Structure 1
Amino acid sequence: MPIQYEPTREGRHFLRGFGLDSPAQQHPVIRPGGLGTFIRRPRGDREGAAVTARFEAAQGRWGLIPLFSKEREYPHTFEARGETAASERNFYQPWKRGHRCVVLADALYRRGDADDKMVRVERADGQPLAMAGLWNGWRAPDGECVESFALITLPAVESPTHRRVVFLREAWVDDWLHCPVEETAAYLRPYALDKLVRRTLVRDPDIPLPQRA
């Protein structure tokens, strides 16, 4: 089930956690298909590039575009299932290449139990959610390199029939971005529910509800 999120815009979180400048202006709420900022291990495939930094921020489409795609509006790749992404056609190449990323969000929105409700999720301590993801660079027919990403999900602890985005523990973020590929799955664990605040809200008509899966 696609979700939506409020991107972190305060520069101090990017500077303190990653030594990065504030990201480019982002929309207040990022919806599937929108442009969002993600943090990754610096790309080492740029011609003449000397990689000295440990992190870099990039902007890309939320909805990963696989290398085999013929067009940039590739559907249904907003979320990658953590249990199967390593073997799924849409995600196995970014997985095996170690193209992992982190998306910082002040809050995440998901559908509530009724059509006129939605649930807002945030950290209890007020710090940003560090959402685990995969990214890809796709070469368009005109030669443009288009960046894109997907968020990783797992079955919900409280309801295995539902999916929840993977939130990384703060101490794991660096390791998640830099660990060997064979260690990737070790960081995909449920986040402690007592460290989250979840509030059910009456749906804002300006924020469309996600589509049901």
Structure 2
Amino acid sequence: MCGRVMQYRSPQEYVASLGLSCPEVNLPDIPAHFNGAPGQDFLVIRRHPEANQPVFSALQWGLIPSGANDPKIALQLINAHAETVVTTDVFRAAYRYRRCLIPVDGFYEWKKRWPAGRQPYAIGMEDGQPFTLAGLWESWKNPDGEWVRTFSVITIQSNKFLAELHDRMPLIIETKDRERWMSEEEHPGDLLKAHSSEGMTKWLVSTQVNSPKNNDRGLLEPLAVAG
């Protein structure tokens, strides 16, 4: 699964680092996430339904389907399995028409420790550059008549590098595939595959990551050994 991410750069930095061609007007102001969790707002790149070009938006993590009666369903829909996005009712339309990208600096995963507990690891790219996760977004109108935009992160079976931590990992969209992922193509199914182990890195971090209340750059400091 993917339940915690790092997204601490500004929209302008992501535009420059990722080589994106998003207009720099009305860029959303999102607090830095060193330990970002579901329920919070994140920078998301989506195709504007009218202008048909990529734009930065502030979306809440945890997808609320357009016809949902209870927004609490978002807690159950923070992730979408790549293997079933085409067939699952709650994700099928979003996969067809509302694919998005979530720019991140890394994410976290936990390894079970004997005899109890879990040890968090930070995961990123060896070159320290940001990358993009595949997502799906939806619009939902709350009882007050306001539109709430939300998203889910797509996950896939883990590559060899991360398999010891968890059997699933977020779906990473390569630079060359970003435009295609954001296109109107009905089913870019060949992109639904795990990122190569090459170029990825992971390191032990403090168990302070276990609480999303902790959110500072110090969480990224590597530990020499597991605590």
- The two structures have a TM-score, normalised by structure 1, of 0.85
Q: How far did 1:72 drift?
A: 2.2
Q: How far did 1:189 drift?
A: 1.6
Residue identity in the other structure for 2:194: P
Q: How far did 1:58 drift?
A: 1.0
Distance 1:23 1:128 in 2: 18
Match among 23, 39, 42 for residue 36 of structure 1: 42
Contact in 2 for aligned 1:62/1:149 (Cα 8 Å): yes
How big is each residue's C-alpha offset from its partner over 1:42-97, in whole Å with a ceiling of 9 and x where there is no partner? 122xxxxxx2x62111111100001221132223100000000121132122123x
Q: How far did 1:116 drift?
A: 4.1
Match among 200, 203, 208 for residue 204 of structure 1: 208
Runs of 4+ in structure 1 deviating by more than 4 angstroms, as ranges, are none
Q: How far did 1:187 drift?
A: 1.2
Distance 1:197 1:63 in 2: 27
SS of the equivalent of 1:73 reads helix
Q: How far did 1:207 drift?
A: 3.1
CA RMSD of aligned residues (A): 2.2
Contact in 1 for aligned 2:135/2:153 (Cα 8 Å): yes
How big is each residue's C-alpha offset from its partner over 1:91-142, in whole Å with a ceiling of 9 and x where there is no partner? 122123x200000111101112322411111111221121000000112222
How many corresponding residue pairs?
Answer: 200
Distance 1:179 1:128 in 2: 25
Q: How far did 1:208 drift?
A: 4.7
Q: How far did 1:148 drift?
A: 0.2
Distance 1:194 1:82 in 2: 21
**2:109 — aligned with what?**
110
Contact in 1 for aligned 2:136/2:153 (Cα 8 Å): yes
**1:143 — aligned with what?**
145
Match among 17, 20, 32 for residue 17 of structure 1: 20
SS of the equivalent of 2:172 reads coil
Distance 2:92 2:8 in 1: 28
Distance 2:194 2:158 in 1: 8
- The two structures have a TM-score, normalised by structure 2, of 0.80
* Greater fraction of residues in helix: 2
Residue identity in the other structure for 1:85: V
Q: How far did 1:206 drift?
A: 6.5
> In the TM superposition, what are the counterparts of 1:119-130 in structure 2 within 5 Å?
119-130=121-132
Is there any run of 5+ residues in structure 1 with no aligned partner, and where? 45-50
**1:4 — aligned with what?**
4
Sequence identity, in percent? 21
Is there any run of 5+ residues in structure 2 with no aligned partner, and where? 214-227
